[in-house]
């Protein structure tokens, strides 16, 4: 008989951040899909100068799927204590950090609103949480505890 490992507080924090990212990605993605000019979200098209994009349509699709739907799927998996969801949260954290870094390289660092700083911090904190030994151990025991 295996002993049950209780969910660490750090995992609850990870789940909150994953859910926050998912909901934010859905909201931002829908906004860019409905108005690829970015005008309704006060995002100037001039920020895309020098990028491969003429509008925010493709970034909106990526935001909606990779940083919206995927995190929501990860959240559900984390609730169910799925090892794959732990790996998904790791991928999500890395994807969010890369997204922010590429965004800064393409459009420059924007301080108003400070979304790059906020979401960069969310990505970094998710990465830290997902790699904590207590969180890794919790998901490593998935198979044993479910038998």
Domain count, the chain: 1
Q: Which domain holds residue 22?
A: 9-142
In a domain, 68, yes or no: yes
Assign residue 4 a region: left if phi > 0, alpha if psi is -120 to 50, beta otherwise? beta
Name residues whose C-beta falls within 8 Å of residue 145's C-beta, 6 or more positions apart in sequence: 2, 4, 5, 81
Residue 137 lies in a domain: yes
Indicate the SS3 state at residue 138: helix
Whether 82 is in a domain gets the answer yes
> Tens digit of pLDDT for each residue in 9-35?
999 999 999 999 999 999 999 999 999
Q: What is the mean pLDDT of residues 137-144?
A: 76
> Is pLDDT at 1 greater than 80 in this prediction?
no
Q: Which residues, 6+ apart, have CB-to-CB distance to 37 below 8 Å? A: 45, 55, 56
pLDDT digits (tens, 9 = 90+) for 29-57: 999 999 999 999 999 999 998 889 999 99
> Does a structural domain hold residue 2?
no
Q: pLDDT of 52-102, one tens digit each? A: 999 999 999 999 999 999 999 999 999 999 999 999 999 999 999 999 999
Total residues belonging to the chain: 147
Q: What is d(CA 68, CA 21) in angstroms, rounded to the nearest whole number?
A: 7
pLDDT band at 121 (very low <50, low <70, confident <90, very high): very high
Please check whether residue 4 lies inside any domain of the structure.
no
Phi and psi for 86 in degrees, rounded to 5? -60, -45
Q: What pLDDT does 3 receive?
A: 55
Contact between residue 19 and residue 75 where contact means Cβ atoms under 8 Å apart: yes
Cα–Cα distance, 21 to 28 (Å, whole number): 10
Residue 147's pLDDT band (boundaries 50, 70, 90)?
very low
Any idea which residue has 């739907």 for tokens?
Answer: 69
Backbone dihedral angles phi then psi of residue 21, each to the nearest 5 degrees: -65, -45
Domain membership of residue 78 (yes or no) is yes
Residue 3 in any domain: the answer is no
Q: Does the residue 116 lie in any domain? A: yes
Closest CA to 125 of 74, 99, 89: 89
């Amino acid at each position: 008989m295996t002993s049950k490992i209780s969910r660490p507080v750090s995992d609850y924090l990870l789940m909150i951040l994953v859910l926050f990212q998912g909901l934010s990605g859905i909201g931002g993605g829908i906004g860019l899909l409905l108005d690829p000019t970015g005008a309704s979200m006060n995002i100037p098209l001039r920020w895309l100068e020098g990028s491969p994009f003429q509008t925010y349509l493709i970034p909106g699709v990526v935001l909606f799927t990779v940083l919206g739907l995927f995190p929501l799927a990860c959240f559900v998996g984390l609730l169910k204590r799925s090892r794959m969801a732990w790996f998904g949260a790791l991928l999500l954290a890395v994807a969010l950090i890369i997204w922010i870094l590429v965004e800064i390289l393409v459009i420059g660092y924007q301080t108003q609103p400070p979304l790059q700083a906020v979401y960069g911090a969310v990505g970094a904190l998710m990465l830290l949480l997902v790699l904590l030994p207590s969180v890794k151990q919790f998901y490593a025991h998935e198979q044993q505890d479910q038998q």
